[in-house]
Structure formats: structure tokens, C-alpha cells
């Protein structure tokens, strides 16, 4: 492929403004956006005609599990298939995400630190995939949530040691479990149960921040969410049982919420599809509270980012359009939902200027679709093409 590409005549949404630019050319050189609009001259570039189509920043999914299959009980699939086949699966899932226009994912948990390996393969050009900001294994208490990829860490010293382990392996984010969850353990785990203590969470955050890494906290129950926020985590994952006091604290501290709305609805409806009944029972209780928590977060003006839990129960890769639709179902406009999967997500990742926006000098991570996603996010379901670091990827072939 030519080093320079001119994407000509598309309707451009830059990932920030409400307005679009009709007939805006985008010049891509050496993997970056060289110019936009009138400044984007041919210069001998390979020209791609996008008249009538929509150009927007590559999408960001803030919560995925590349090792998981998206079947009804994905943890059992990993156990049955083993580490080597799971690694191949994770690589395939990364490619599927990219083909759907998701150019960055945050992977928040994987067996044997497999997502760290896949992230390295993408970074070194061994594998075509999205940028992967991976946690690897989650820091949990003994007997805690996600035991299949958990680092059991009891006490402050053990937690600090586990953070340092993940840093040494190249983690791009640290994941901690502040509460129990819906899917994971058939017995001995409740959604509202606190897990890592406030002192342990605080130690994890301090150590991660010392190395320049953000911290994501799995947190569903009210007390555990509050502990995570008091500890200084950067994102609360799920946040099903928020209360007004904790929401106010999140706003003061700048803590973002990654609500993963669609997955709980899916699990709650899932026994007939083979989802474990214990998970469906807990999800049914969590869905109603989740709606109320999300409404509180929106009203308070919290930063909300789009994450899917892709790979989890009955949620195959990719799943971002389903999550964007769920955000809209609960009151967001398509514009607000798209912000949650572009510029807002980039800011929460501390990657402003590296993804999430279409700006001269920024990375050429783009997705092109036929219809207006600011009118209906389902327009993103079948990208016309994807651009990743200036390389054109064709998920769909033009009819002949």
C-alpha cells in the first residue's frame, strides 16, 4: 500500500464537535493524519473516494476479555482448550475487533497474561490488530472474583508485589477486584460482597500510579465501589449499585465510570442460551439497580466510557455497537455515546492526541461507514473500511 493516502470527500466527524464537515478530505502520511480539509492536497497519494460516506475516529472499547470466546460459559472453554489454543483465540478476537472499526481496546483480564503477549505481537507488527492496553491478570483477594486469572493477594505487601509483577510484564493498566461479581464463581461470591480492602486498594493505586499506570476496579456493590473511589482508582467498572454519596465523590475526584450495560441484560436473559443459572439469577437483581446508577452518573456529569465485557457470557467479539445502543436506550444521544467510545475514552486512557480524535498530527486510526452514526449508532455495524496507523483494512468488499 502507498505510504500516503488521500481519503476524499467523506462527511467527517472529528470525535469532539457536534457538527460534521461535509466533503472533508483527510490526508494520511506515514501512519498519521497530515492534513484535514482544504489543506489535504493530493501530493501523489493513493486516493480513496468516500463521497456519501462518514469518516470518524477509530473506536475504543474500554473493557474486553480477548481470551474469552463469547459463548454462554467462556471460562470453561479456556479450561478445556488450554493456554496455547486460547492464545490463538485471543489473537483472532483482536483481529475481529479491528475489522469492526475498534482500533483500541482495554483488556481487563486474561488467563496466563495472554493479553500482554497479544498486545506485544500487535505492537511489533507480528499481528494485525487494535492497540491493546492490557492488564493481564487481575489483583484479587484469595477466593475473590475472577479466580481463573486472578493474582491472589492478601495484605498490603502482597498487593504491592502483584502490582510490581504486572508492571514488570508490561501491563498497560492495573485491574483490581473490589467486590464480587455476577459471572465467575458458582458459590461463595455475592455481587455486594467487598473483596480487597480499602487499605489494599489504596496500596495498589499508589504503586500503579508510581509507575504511571491507571487502575481499573471491578466494583458492583455500594461499599466496594466507595472503597475503590476512596482509594483513588481511575475507572469504576460496572458500578451497578452506586449511591449519590459515591457519585459525588467520583465527580470531585474525576473518577470515570465504565458501566458495561449490555452484558448484564444479556446474562439476565441467558439461561435458555446456556448461561449458568447462578449468573443469570444475580444479573437479574443487578439490572434494575444498574439503570438507576447510570441515571445518577449521567445527571452528575461523570465521565462515562463505553466498555462491553466482550468475550463474556453470550457476548462475542466485537460487541461495541451493542453497548452504544444500550447507552442510547438509557438516555444518551448517539453523539454522547460516540464520545464515550472515542475522545472521552482516549482522555480516560491518558491517550489524548494518540487516539479518539481526527486531528492533524494525530494517529490515522479511522473508521468509515455508509450511514450517519450520529443519527443511529447501528450505522457502525458494517464498516466500509478501517484505517489503522495509516494502513487500510477492508472488512467489506464492494459488490461487483
Per-residue pLDDT of the chain (400 residues; tens, 9 = 90+): 457 899 999 999 999 999 999 999 999 999 999 999 877 777 788 899 999 999 999 999 999 999 999 999 999 999 999 999 999 999 999 999 999 999 999 999 999 999 999 999 999 999 999 999 999 999 999 999 999 999 999 999 999 999 999 999 999 999 999 999 999 878 778 888 999 999 999 999 999 999 999 999 999 999 999 999 999 999 999 999 999 999 999 999 999 999 999 999 999 987 767 888 999 989 998 999 999 999 999 999 999 999 999 999 999 999 999 999 999 999 999 999 999 999 999 999 998 877 899 999 999 999 999 999 999 999 999 999 999 999 999 776 554 3
Respond yes or no on whether the N-terminal peptide bond of residue 318 is cis (omega within 30° of 0). Answer: yes
Domain limits, the chain = 4-57+357-393, 59-348
From the centroid of its chain, how far is CA 230? 23
Per the structure block, which three cell numbers stand in for 67? 481470551
Res 274: pLDDT: 81
Nearest to 305 by CA among 343, 266, 274: 343
Res 398: pLDDT: 53
Contact 105, 130 (CB under 8 A): yes
Nearest to 298 by CA among 242, 214, 237, 351: 242
- Angle CA(317)–CA(114)–CA(138) in degrees, nearest 5? 90
Res 397: pLDDT: 57
What distance in Å separates the CA atoms of residue 298 and residue 120, rounded to the nearest whole number? 36
Intrachain domains 4-57+357-393 and 59-348 with the same fold? no
Res 72: pLDDT: 93
| Helix H or strand E segment including 256 | strand 256-258
User: Domain 59-348 has what CATH class?
Assistant: alpha beta
User: Domain 4-57+357-393 has what CATH class?
Assistant: mainly beta
Pairs from 239-245 (Cβ < 8 Å, separation ≥ 24)? 239/290, 239/293, 239/294, 239/297, 240/191, 240/264, 240/286, 240/289, 240/290, 240/293, 241/191, 241/192, 241/286, 241/289, 241/293, 242/292, 242/293, 242/296, 242/297, 243/296, 244/296
Amino acid at each position: 500500500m502507498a505510504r500516503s493516502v488521500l481519503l476524499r470527500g467523506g462527511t467527517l466527524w472529528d470525535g469532539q464537535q457536534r457538527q460534521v464537515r461535509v466533503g472533508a478530505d483527510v490526508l494520511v502520511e506515514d501512519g498519521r493524519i497530515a492534513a484535514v480539509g482544504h489543506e489535504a492536497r493530493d501530493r501523489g497519494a493513493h486516493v480513496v473516494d468516500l463521497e456519501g460516506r462518514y469518516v470518524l475516529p477509530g473506536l475504543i472499547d474500554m473493557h474486553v476479555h480477548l481470551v474469552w470466546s463469547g459463548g454462554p460459559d467462556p471460562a470453561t472453554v479456556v479450561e478445556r482448550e488450554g493456554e496455547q489454543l486460547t492464545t490463538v483465540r485471543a489473537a483472532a478476537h483482536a483481529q475481529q475487533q479491528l475489522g469492526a472499526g475498534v482500533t483500541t481496546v482495554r483488556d481487563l483480564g486474561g488467563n496466563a497474561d495472554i493479553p500482554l503477549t497479544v498486545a506485544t505481537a500487535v505492537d511489533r507488527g507480528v499481528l494485525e490488530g487494535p492497540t491493546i492496553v492490557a492488564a493481564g491478570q487481575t489483583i484479587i483477594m484469595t477466593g475473590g472474583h475472577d479466580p481463573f486469572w486472578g493474582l491472589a493477594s492478601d495484605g498490603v505487601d502482597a498487593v504491592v508485589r502483584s502490582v510490581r509483577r504486572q508492571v514488570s510484564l508490561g501491563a498497560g493498566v492495573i485491574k483490581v477486584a473490589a467486590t464480587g461479581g455476577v459471572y465467575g464463581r458458582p458459590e461463595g461470591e455475592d455481587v455486594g460482597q467487598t473483596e480487597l480492602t480499602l487499605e489494599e486498594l489504596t496500596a495498589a493505586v499508589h504503586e500503579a500510579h508510581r509507575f504511571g499506570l491507571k487502575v481499573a476496579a471491578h466494583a458492583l456493590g455500594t461499599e466496594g465501589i466507595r472503597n475503590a473511589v476512596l482509594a483513588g482508582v481511575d475507572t469504576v467498572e460496572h458500578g451497578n449499585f452506586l449511591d449519590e454519596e459515591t457519585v459525588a465523590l467520583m465527580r470531585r475526584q474525576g473518577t470515570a465510570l465504565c458501566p458495561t450495560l449490555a452484558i448484564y441484560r444479556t446474562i439476565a436473559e441467558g439461561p435458555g442460551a446456556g448461561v449458568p443459572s447462578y449468573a443469570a439469577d444475580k444479573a437479574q437483581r443487578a439490572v434494575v439497580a444498574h439503570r438507576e446508577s447510570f441515571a445518577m452518573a449521567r445527571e452528575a456529569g461523570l465521565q462515562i466510557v463505553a466498555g462491553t465485557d466482550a468475550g463474556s457470557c453470550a457476548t462475542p467479539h466485537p460487541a461495541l455497537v451493542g453497548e452504544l445502543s444500550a447507552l442510547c436506550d438509557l438516555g444518551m444521544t448517539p453523539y454522547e455515546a460516540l464520545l464515550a467510545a472515542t475522545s472521552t475514552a482516549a482522555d480516560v486512557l491518558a491517550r489524548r492526541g494518540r487516539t479518539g480524535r481526527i486531528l492533524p498530527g494525530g494517529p490515522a486510526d479511522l473508521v468509515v461507514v455508509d450511514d450517519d452514526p450520529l443519527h443511529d449508532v447501528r450505522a457502525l455495524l458494517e464498516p466500509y473500511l478501517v484505517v489503522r496507523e495509516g494502513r487500510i483494512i477492508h472488512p467489506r468488499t464492494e459488490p461487483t
